[in-house]
Each structure stands twice: as structure tokens, then as C-alpha cells.
Structure 1
Amino acid sequence: MDWRNGFCGAAFGAGLLLLSGSALAADEDLLNAPEITIEKEAAGTSAIYLRGDIGYAPWRGEGDPYYRTFDAGTLTYDSVSFDNARFDKPFSGSLGIGYQLTDTFRADLTAEYFEGRFSGSSSSASPCAGQGAGTSCALSTGAGYSALGLMANAYLDFGTLAGFTPYVGGGIGATRLNWDSAIERATCVAGGGACVGGAPTSAAYEGRDSWRFTYALMAGVSYDLSEQLKLDVGYRYSHVADGEMFGFGAEALVGASGDKGFDDGLSRHEIRAGLRFSF
């Protein structure tokens, strides 16, 4: 019994030594462990960014702009559509600031500027001012405009593959459309009568300014040039609501009121390229 008790005692003592050695080693590992910091959000899932874009609109929809004529004798109005209307100057530029809310969702506020020129033609069976009976009148109207748009946009980013990240998005906002004075030129067209000689006559109509509701739809892809800089290339469709173009000129002196010219809104199909820089 004594040797068994001695053996058990020795084994028990050895076990205690092993356990104490393991505990000391564990304590030493804990003391030497690197400091662990837990971030509130995972890196890369939230960041403020700045963006700048240029756009080219190879196709623009001008709708059906029209103007009103006034008959001082009957005090009535008639609406006349432009036979041929178009908007030119397709370039635009924008700046903005945004926030990457998650890996897949971001939003930004942008300010956009573009300008252009409207030209349209129409005709009247009535003679131009100062022309004789039997003639008709060909009219051409031109006016420049500038636009400043303020938009709130949201985007859904898909998975990134080899640095490329496709996305879709949409935006709503308002555009301040500022029309310059419209110049209308009237040219006599001989028919059953004869035109009086002389250059075509012209009249000026004061341009109108107004805020228009605007919406946009986007799709594109970004490419990681670096950890902070992305190249963004995409397509955007935007539509500016309709409104006034220009008011009455001399006709206002004989009773005409309100506005003379109206646009039917402005749609732009744009190819856009820009950079996004994250802080």
C-alpha cells in the first residue's frame, strides 16, 4: 500500500506541475498577443466621395413645342406647333458629393450645367405684316437657353470583378431653365399674290425662366484605378418637365396676355464619363 500511495502522489504532483506550466504559458501568450481593435463598420463599406462628370447627348428629344397667336380683333388665341424643331449643343458637366453607405448602396447630390439652342420653323396661311393678299408667311424662331440642375441620386452597386463594378441608379431633382430672348423671322411666300420687296422682318420675344421637375435613370460600370480613385462610364436618361419659353412682344400692347411660346420638356440620352475620389 505504501508504494502505491507514493506512486499516486508522484503522479498527482506531476499533473499539477503540468497544469501550472500550461497556465503560465497561456498567460504569457495572452500578454504577448497583439492588440485587437473592433471597427464600428467594416473597412471600405462607408466613405465620402467627390465626383466630376462630363456628358455627351447624341440624341435629344424636344417633344412638341408650340406657340400661341393672338387675334386683336376677336381677342382669341390659336396654338401653332413648330413644323421642325430641334435642340443642339449636346455637352454637359456636373460636380457632386456622395457617400458610400454600404458595399452595395451609395447616394450623392450633384449640380449639373448644360446649355443649348432651340430652332424651329412654322408657316401661316395669312400674309406676313405689310404683305399683300394671296401671300403666305414662313416663320423661323431661334432662342438660346442655359440650364442648372440639382439632383439627388441613389445607386445600387453589384459585385466587383477584376476591378469592374456594374451599377444601376436613379435620381430626382429640379432644373432651372433660363431661356434667352427668342427671335422670330418672317419671310413672305408668294402664292396667289406678290411679295413686297425687302428683307425678312423680325420680332423679339422676352425669354422665360422657371424651375422644372427633373428625373433621371442611370446604368454603367466603374473601374478601380486605385483604392481611392474610380473611373465611371455609363448611360443616363434624363427628362426636364415642360414649361414656358417666351412671352408676347408687341402683341401684349394690343391685349395679349400670358406666354406666347411653350416647350414640351427636354429629354437627354447621354453617354457620361467621370471620376470618383473617396476619402
Structure 2
Amino acid sequence: MRRTLFGAFAVMLAAGASHAADVAQPAMDPVLMSAPEVTVQEAATGWYLRGDAGYAFKDMKGAKFYQGGSSASTTDFSSAHLKDSFLLGAGVGYQINSALRTDLTFDYLSRSKFEGSTHGSGAAFGACVGNCTSSDISHMRAYSLLANAYVDLGTFGYVTPYVGGGLGGTYVKWDKLKNTSCADNGSGCDSTVEHGGKGSWRFTYALMAGATVDVTCNLKADIGYRYRHVEGGDMFGFASNGGPGSDKGFDVHEARVGARYLFGGCPQASVTYDEPQPPLVYK
């Protein structure tokens, strides 16, 4: 009986020791692999060149001239219309950050025809007396130099809308003005009188809105609208007891397309991997 009890007790001790050894065995920790860390650089900054072309719709504010003779007064043209024309532009700028850029632009407005007229005593001269109407023909071209700033409103896919403004000057060059006055009753016309054209620099401001489209990371297409206001100035000189004359300025509404090339390379995304820790080895 005693042998049987001692044998059972020995078996219980062996089983308990075996279970204790199993509990004390440390658990294997899983090997933790760190996810790669992706860092995207800021939008590219730096110098850029731009080129633009477009069509300009002009709204002339009027014109006036000094009428000699007994009236000796300034008279407004009864009508003053400036036809539309094409434009070409170029510039250099700097992309300050992803939201702000500035540039200096030079634009050329191609030759545009002026058609005006006067009525009554303002048109009367020489053979034309009483009720007369004049036909006044000239041409104008202009060169603008503007300093501009733009705010980019965020990029949506490949498209970045923007707004902007500019200040500067426009050199307006008028060709000679050809003036022909005819009696309204058809009795006759004066000989055509030519007034020498004038040129002058005028204060100009501009407002812009549009969008750029990423063609590549360096090259961007630009589609936009620009409003430009050009102050009035000298238009033509004195001739045959009439003149000089001046225009009252004009607004220009421009539909533009162009491109910008940004120097300095393309932004690249960098990927960093943490070193994996070696697995724990248990012996």
C-alpha cells in the first residue's frame, strides 16, 4: 500500500514539473516589419518662361479734338470705334511656392483700325458748311509692359485655376488720321485732311483669371481671360485749322492661350524603409 501511494505521488510531481516548464517557456514575439515611409517634396519652385497668343476685343471710351476757327473749343467725336486685333506676348517669372507666382510680361497688340465721325459744326470746314458729317480713319498699335502677381487656387488632378492682377504701362502708337467732311445734303465734300499721328505711354492695369494644365512636370498649358484698361492720351496733331486730338482710353478684353516652362527639374517622391529587426532566437 505504501509503495502504491509513493508511486502515485511521484507521478503527480513529474506531471506538475512538466506543466510548470511549459508555462515558464517564453512566447515567441512576432517580427514587426515597419511600413515604408513616403515623403513627397513640395511643388517645384524657380524661374519660368512664358509665351502667349490671343484675340483682343476693344472697347474705346471715345475721342475728342480741338476745333479751331471761331468756335475755338474742344469737341467730342460723335462716334469712335476701334476694331479688334490679335496679340502676342512673352515673359519671365518666378514660382515662389505652390500658391504664389509673379512675372514680368511684354505684349504686342497688332494694328487695329479706328473709325470715327463728327456731325454739325464740328465737321464743317471749307466747302462743307452747315450740317456736315466727317469720316475719320486711322490705325493704332500698342505695346504693354506689366508686372503681374497670381494666386493659384489649388490643383485638381492636372488642372490649377488661378486669379491675378497686373500694373504697368502701354505705349499707344497712332498712325496719321485721315479726315473727310461731306455735306449732309450731298452738295459736296472737303478735301481729305491728314493729321499726324501721336504716340504716348499710358498707365495700364490688368485683371486675370484662368487655369493651367500640367502637360509635363515642367511644361504647363495656360488658358485664360485678361481684362486690361489703358488710360487716354494723345491721338493726332493739328492740321488745316483742326486738332490736336486725343482718345479717352480703352478697355481690352483678351481671350488667351499660352504655355509656361518651369526650370529647376521636377519634384520627386522619396521612399524610406526602416531596417527590419532580427527575429528573436530561443534555445
Q: TM-score range by the shorter chain?
A: 0.7 to 0.9
Partner of 1:216, secondary structure, is: strand
Partner of 1:215, secondary structure, is: strand
**Aligned match of 1:181:** 176
Deviations 1:118-174 (A, max 9, x none): 11011124754124x6x4221011111111111100000011011100000000001
**Aligned match of 2:138:** 143
For residues 245 and 211 of structure 1, the distance between their equivalents in structure 2, rounded to whole angstroms, comes to: 12
Is it true that 1:266 corresponds to 2:250 in the alignment? yes
Contact in 2 for aligned 1:128/1:136 (Cα 8 Å): no
For residues 49 and 238 of structure 1, the distance between their equivalents in structure 2, rounded to whole angstroms, comes to: 23
Alignment of structure 1 residues 215-234 onto 2, 5 Å: 215-234=205-224
Contact in 1 for aligned 2:126/2:190 (Cα 8 Å): no
RMSD of aligned Cα (Å): 1.9
- Counterpart residue identity of residue 101, structure 1: I
TM-score, reference length from structure 1: 0.74
Structure 2 gap segments, 5+ residues each: 1-40, 264-283
- Counterpart residue identity of residue 53, structure 2: I
2:229 to 221, 234, 239: 239
Is it true that 1:124 corresponds to 2:124 in the alignment? no
Alignment length (residue pairs): 221
Deviations 1:215-248 (A, max 9, x none): 0000111000011111111111001111110011
- Counterpart residue identity of residue 243, structure 1: G
Partner of 1:250, secondary structure, is: coil
Structure of higher RCO (CA pairs closer than 8 Å, 6+ residues apart): 2
**Aligned match of 2:195:** 205
User: Identity over aligned residues, as a percent?
Assistant: 37
Is it true that 1:65 corresponds to 2:63 in the alignment? yes
For residues 56 and 227 of structure 1, the distance between their equivalents in structure 2, rounded to whole angstroms, comes to: 28
Structure 1 gap segments, 5+ residues each: 1-41
- Counterpart residue identity of residue 215, structure 1: Y
- Counterpart residue identity of residue 77, structure 1: A
2:148 to 153, 163, 170: 153
Higher Rg: 2
**Aligned match of 1:79:** 74
- Counterpart residue identity of residue 278, structure 1: L
- Counterpart residue identity of residue 61, structure 2: G
Contact in 1 for aligned 2:133/2:184 (Cα 8 Å): yes
For residues 269 and 127 of structure 1, the distance between their equivalents in structure 2, rounded to whole angstroms, comes to: 35
Shift of 1:45: 3.8
Partner of 1:235, secondary structure, is: strand
Shift of 1:260: 1.7
Is it true that 1:54 corresponds to 2:53 in the alignment? yes
Shift of 1:44: 3.0
**Aligned match of 1:15:** none
Contact in 2 for aligned 1:181/1:205 (Cα 8 Å): yes
